[in-house]
Amino acid sequence: MTSTVESLGSVSQPPHVSKGTKSSAWILSKRYWYWLSFILPAIPLASGYLAIETGHGIWLWFTVAVLYAILPAADYIFGTDDANPDDELVEKLKGERYYVYIMYLATFVHWASLVGMAYIVSQYDWSWFSILGGAVSAGIINGVGLVAGHEMGHKVNDRAQATCAKLVLACSGYGHFCIEHNKGHHKDVATPEDPASSKFGESIYKFVKREIPGAFRRAWSLESARLERLGKSEWSMSNEILQSGLITVVAYTLMLAYWGPVMIPFLMIAAGYGWWQLTCANYVEHYGLLRLKNENGRYERCQPHHSWNSNHKASNLILLHLQRHSDHHAHPTRPYQVLRDYADVPSLPSGYPWMFVLAMIPSAWYSVMNPKVIEWAGGDMNKVNVDPDLKEDIFNRYHQPQKTNEAA
């Protein structure tokens, strides 16, 4: 195994550690920047208020502009975040409950945001276009809620965090995420078996048809197996997928009952666009990357070079350092405030917001990312997670393993 793995040119180095008071001061000051986790979900409410006050329904689209225009611009302007906490700072920060309380508050604001936007679109006279803007905005915030759910959902042995994860994931009816992600995606990441790892040559529109049903099936199967070991039915209320699903059903039913049929398209679009944000994240996080098998037939352990990393400052503050994805997959239980950047890992040219835009335009995505994957694998397409439907064509066009040997 060792020789095979080491032949990859991108074996990751340990995280570089920033020294000096300036770096530490910035890391410590992030404790206030993380307030963005509950400020961001309030943006649709603020834009809804402006829409009501001015009578211009176009304000209901404002959150869409935040994600796809303002955040990419902020990433471009503020660049990358050079500060990595040293071991002493990691020890100091990782157990501080303050960072968890921010997540609890974010859970509350996410529900307030969804219900508030549902109220705004249903109780005032808007054009269908404005309602669509409100629904997509709510969907974007549901996607941000999945990031909070992801963070808390990894803390499986902290009952309060696990409960809040279920609550916030219920905003978009994606309660199976914790099981699917922790026990499924993290185990199978960067392998052909993982429905949540995208393959070289696979467009996001093809990926989503594999990802959404595959993720749900895997979650249900894992939960059924756990309940069987406990001697319980998969339809019992101990089923954590059903627990979260029940919260969604009750909340959506109440909104439908009180605020009428407009809730049907609104909630479907808001939930669906939330799911789409997750699809976008899954698509960009491991595109084409492949873990190799050792002599025993087991995949090598997931290492930092099996994730696309992005160290952009602005989007990392919004997304709880999720984009320091190499560290996250190498150490999944590490809390967001102490995730670190790695040197020599595959890196995205921008933060997620702009990468999502590229992902939605497959030709643009391929032109930016395919050369990066080929470089990562040293031209050996046997070391790439390739879409099997396009394997022959991809190998004919890109497979040049000799180049690696010459370079070495």
Partner 1 sequence: MKKYECPDCGFIYDEAKGAQHEGYPPGFKWEDLPEDFPCPECFVREKPDFILLEN
Least distance CB 184 / partner 1 (angstroms)? 9
Least distance CB 338 / partner 1 (angstroms)? 13
For residue 377, CA distances in Å to 264, 371, 408 come to 46, 10, 13
Q: 363 φ, ψ to 5°? A: -65, -40
183 or 321: CB nearest partner 1? 183
Least distance CB 186 / partner 1 (angstroms)? 5
Least distance CB 161 / partner 1 (angstroms)? 13
296 or 396: CB nearest partner 1? 296
C-alpha neighbours within 13 Å on the C-beta side of residue 356:
21
Least distance CB 253 / partner 1 (angstroms)? 30
- Beta-bridged to residue 80, according to DSSP, are 312
By residue count, the chain amounts to 408
Least distance CB 389 / partner 1 (angstroms)? 29
Least distance CB 398 / partner 1 (angstroms)? 30
Least distance CB 155 / partner 1 (angstroms)? 9
Least distance CB 228 / partner 1 (angstroms)? 8
Residues that bind partner 1 (CB under 8 A): 156-157, 182-183, 186-187, 226-230, 301-302, 329, 331-333
17 or 156: CB nearest partner 1? 156
177 or 398: CB nearest partner 1? 177
313 or 329: CB nearest partner 1? 329
Three-state secondary structure of the chain: CHHHHHCCCCCCCCCCCCCCHHHHHHHHHHHHHCCHHHHHHHHHHHHHHHHHHHCCHHHHHHHHHHHHHHHHHHHHHHCECCCCCCHHHHHHHHCCCHHHHHHHHHHHHHHHHHHHHHHHHHHCCCCHHHHHHHHHHHHHHHHHHHHHHHHHHCCCCCHHHHHHHHHHHHHHCCCCHHHHHHHHHHHHCCCCCCCCCCCECCCHHHHHHHHHHHHHHHHHHHHHHHHHHCCCCCCCCCCHHHHHHHHHHHHHHHHHHHHCCCHHHHHHHHHHHHHHHHHHHHHHHCCCECCCECCCCCECCCCHHHCCECCEHHHHHHCCCCCCHHHHHHCCCCCHHHCCCCCCCCECCCCHHHHHHHHCCHHHHHHHHHHHHHHHCCCCHHHECECHHHHHHHHHHHCCHHHHHHHC
Least distance CB 229 / partner 1 (angstroms)? 3
Least distance CB 112 / partner 1 (angstroms)? 31
265 or 332: CB nearest partner 1? 332
334 or 391: CB nearest partner 1? 334
d(CA 371, CA 368): 7
312 or 329: CB nearest partner 1? 329
Q: 207 φ, ψ to 5°? A: -60, -45
Closest by Cα among 397, 347, 333, 407 to 376: 347
Residue 216 in tokens: 């749900």
